[in-house]
Amino acid sequence: MNRKGLVVTVILLFISVSVISSTGTVTEKKFFMLTSFYDGDTLYVGGDGSGNYIKVQDTVDHTSSKRRIVSSMIEDIVLPVPEDDELDQYQTDFNGIAGFVGCFNGRNWSRAQSFIPTKKVLTRIQLYLNQFSASYPYVLVIRDNLTGENIAMVSVNPSEIPVYPDHEWIEFDFDDVLVNTGQTYYMISYTANVAENLYSWGEVMYNGYPNGTAFSSNDNGVTWEHPYPFVADMCFKTYGRGSNILYVGGNGSGNYSSIQDAIDNASDGDTVYVYNGTYYENIVINSSINLVGEDKYSTVIDGGRNDDVVDIVTDSVCVSGFTIQNGALFWYATAGVRIKDSAFNIIENNIIQDNDAGVWTWDGNNTTVSNNIIKKNLKSALWIDGKNNVIDNNSITDNGWDGIVFLDCSNSLISNNSISSSASNGIYLGRSHHNRICDNVITKCKAGIFLPGVSSYNVVSRNIITDTTTYDGITLGGSYNVVSENTLINNAESGIRVSNSSFNMITKNIVKDSKYFGIWVKINSSDNVISQNTFINNPVHAFFTLCGKSTWDGNYWGRRRVLPKPIFGIRLLLPRIEFDWHPARQPYEIT
* DSSP codes, 423-437: SSEEEEEES-BS-EE
Helix (H) or strand (E) holding 262, with range, is helix 259-264
The confidence score (pLDDT) of residue 242 equals 83
Between the CA of residue 564 and those of 503, 534, 554, what are the distances in Å? 23, 15, 10
Side chain identity at 211, as an amino acid letter? Answer: N
Q: What is the pLDDT of residues 55-107, one digit of tens each?
A: 555 554 554 433 334 433 333 333 333 347 899 999 999 988 888 999 888 78
The reported pTM is 0.72
Short-list 192, 177, 169, CA closest to 90:
169
- What is the Cβ-side half-sphere exposure of residue 273, based on CA atoms within 13 angstroms? 22
Alpha-carbon distance 89 to 118, whole Å? 8
The confidence score (pLDDT) of residue 228 equals 76
Between the CA of residue 167 and those of 163, 170, 171, 204, 550, what are the distances in Å? 8, 9, 13, 14, 84
Alpha-carbon distance 205 to 228, whole Å? 9
Buried-state track 435-464, b at ≥16 Cβ within 10 A, e below 16: bbbbbbbbbebbbbbbbbeebbebbbbbbb
Between the CA of residue 214 and those of 96, 150, 194, 326, what are the distances in Å? 16, 18, 24, 58
Alpha-carbon distance 353 to 348, whole Å? 14
What topology is assigned to 86-241 in CATH?
A: Jelly Rolls (2.60.120)
The confidence score (pLDDT) of residue 537 equals 97
Angle at 149 between CA 147 and CA 150, to 5 degrees: 110
Secondary structure of residue 309 in the 3-state scheme: coil
The confidence score (pLDDT) of residue 169 equals 97
The confidence score (pLDDT) of residue 24 equals 36
The confidence score (pLDDT) of residue 332 equals 66
Alpha-carbon distance 49 to 147, whole Å? 65
Secondary structure of residue 109 in the 3-state scheme: strand
Alpha-carbon distance 163 to 442, whole Å? 71
The confidence score (pLDDT) of residue 106 equals 77
Short-list 459, 488, 469, CA closest to 420:
469
Alpha-carbon distance 32 to 68, whole Å? 7
Between the CA of residue 93 and those of 164, 209, 234, what are the distances in Å? 18, 9, 9
CB 396 within 8 A of CB 404: yes
The confidence score (pLDDT) of residue 333 equals 73
The full set of domain ranges for the chain reads 6-79, 86-241, 247-330
Alpha-carbon distance 281 to 326, whole Å? 10
Alpha-carbon distance 457 to 117, whole Å? 53
Ranges of residues in the chain whose predicted pLDDT is under 50: 1-42, 60, 63-83
Q: What is the secondary structure of 28-55 as a DSSP string?
A: EEEEEETTS--SS-EEEBSSS-TT-BSS
Radius of gyration of the chain from Cα atoms? Answer: 32
Secondary structure of residue 158 in the 3-state scheme: helix
Alpha-carbon distance 570 to 554, whole Å? 22
Q: What is the secondary structure of 384-401 as a DSSP string?
A: E-SBS-EEES-EEES-SS
Short-list 446, 441, 447, CA closest to 486:
441
The confidence score (pLDDT) of residue 59 equals 54
Alpha-carbon distance 182 to 144, whole Å? 12
Q: What is the pLDDT of residues 132-160, one digit of tens each?
A: 989 999 999 999 999 999 999 999 999 99
The confidence score (pLDDT) of residue 82 equals 34
The confidence score (pLDDT) of residue 21 equals 34
